[in-house]
Amino acid sequence: MSEFKYNCEGMARRDFIQLGIGSVLGFGMVDLMRLQAHTATPISGKVDPSNMRCILIWMDGGPSHFETFDPKPNAPSRINFGVKAIKTKSPDLMFAEFCPKLATVADKVSIIRSVSHGDSFHGGGNHWMMTGQKSPMPTQCNSVISFHPSYGSVASFMSGGETKLPAYMAVGQQSRSGGPNFLGPQHAPFVIGGDPSQPDFQVRDVVLPPDLSEGRAATRRQLHEAIDRMSRFQDARAGDPAVAFDKHYQAAVDTVSSPQAQAAFDLSREPESIRDMYGRCELGQRLLLSRRLVEVGVPFVTVYNGGWDHHVESIEIIKGRYKASCPCAQASMPPLDQGLTALIRDLDDRGLLDTTLVMAFGEFGRTAEPTGTGRGHWGHAMSIFTAGAGIPGGQAIGATDEQGKSPIGKKYAPADLAASIYSKMGIDPHQHLQSPDGRPIELVKNGQVIKELFS
């Protein structure tokens, strides 16, 4: 589903150990229609008190807080790598020198610098930060685990069905622990693969086949065959292509032909100046697509930005000066600095920032002590970028020590972040959901909202 499929051990995604219960795959539109019809949700949980949306930029691999939003200019050079801190539009925030554009919107941004979970394995860190819950069993870097629903899946489950589009979308690919677990596969993300910066970019299952768009599917059989070609997954989930036409295929047609779907995915409708503002690169256009999705009412969008596992040549990679063919090419600050700044400004200009929670983070931070020319995994400290949704801007929430190793003063857990995300979206973080076998499962265990995020 994406160009980046390797973890720090160089293992292909298909070789990952998959643990836990529940789907870890995203689905096509026809698949989702079938699942939504045939799979009952454990309980009803529709809420819509604030009409809030969320865009989560998932910085897979674990970005360094030192080179982004928690610079340490006074630390020894072996720790700060000679990276300078720069002033921002907020007197209370300093960013690393690689964030000049983001510095201009810092008055609309809050950085949480005191989230810590202590798990420095990719598998465990992913689960912590995508669900707010600790994995109940030990994991390794190559583990793909799902023991609790992800934020996006919960948002889908709680969605009131305002649009015909899926309530949870993943742009690029689904993150490791970004699935629905016991909520059921109908709450897995609809994955939008491909590179939206390319001129031939099309969203699977949304661009209508000629048979449909030109009105040539005159019979049920022809309609069935045309829609069947739209599904990427040619397996049992999509159904036998020889079976008779049914209402699930009709629902898929209604969905992909809706004005919402056609408007959301057609980037050619954007002015050239807006596309340029985001950056004519894969990440920039993914961020632009995420804005279009929340604009038509999709509650939760994850934008995948993989490659932040910088064990070697970290400064060169972050500067965007490493090998262009490296899978980490998009995991550098120039495209993130430009694209994320554009997203904040664009949402604000359109009056959408107050009703859109924007976040950017990965599974952990990086070590203070170098590992050669890079940094190792570090689950004890990280930075969380937040904006919108009524969050007071221009503040640093919490702090790390002089060497960036651990939070000082108030320390927050991923459960606190989860409680805050759900509260912002009008979802009670302490409610109990029901598993298929009837067990009550608390959505967030022991988490309390981070008060600084609420005005």
Q: Which residues contact 330 (CB under 8 A, 6 or more apart)?
A: 4, 281, 282, 283, 305, 306, 307
Share of the chain above pLDDT 70, in %: 75
pLDDT at 22 > cutoff 60 = no
pLDDT (tens digit, 9 = 90+) per residue, 56-111?
Answer: 999 999 999 999 999 999 999 999 999 999 999 999 999 999 999 999 999 999 99
pLDDT band at 48 (very low <50, low <70, confident <90, very high): very low
Where is average pLDDT lowest: 5-19, 257-271, 297-311?
5-19
For residue 36, give the H/E element and its range: helix 29-38
pLDDT band at 229 (very low <50, low <70, confident <90, very high): low
pTM here?
A: 0.84
Whole-number Å distance between alpha carbons of 322 and 196 = 22
pLDDT band at 402 (very low <50, low <70, confident <90, very high): very high
pLDDT at 446 > cutoff 80 = yes
Burial class of residue 348 in the structure, from the number of CB atoms within 10 Å of its CB (0-12 exposed, 13-18 middle, 19+ buried): middle
Domains defined along the chain, listed by start:
13-208+257-453 (3.40.720)
Whole-number Å distance between alpha carbons of 156 and 443 = 14
Average pLDDT, the chain: 83
pLDDT band at 259 (very low <50, low <70, confident <90, very high): confident
Question: What pLDDT is stored for residue 173 in this prediction?
Answer: 92
pLDDT band at 141 (very low <50, low <70, confident <90, very high): confident
Q: Which residues contact 246 (CB under 8 A, 6 or more apart)?
A: none
Q: What single letter denotes the amino acid at residue 232?
A: R
pLDDT band at 253 (very low <50, low <70, confident <90, very high): low
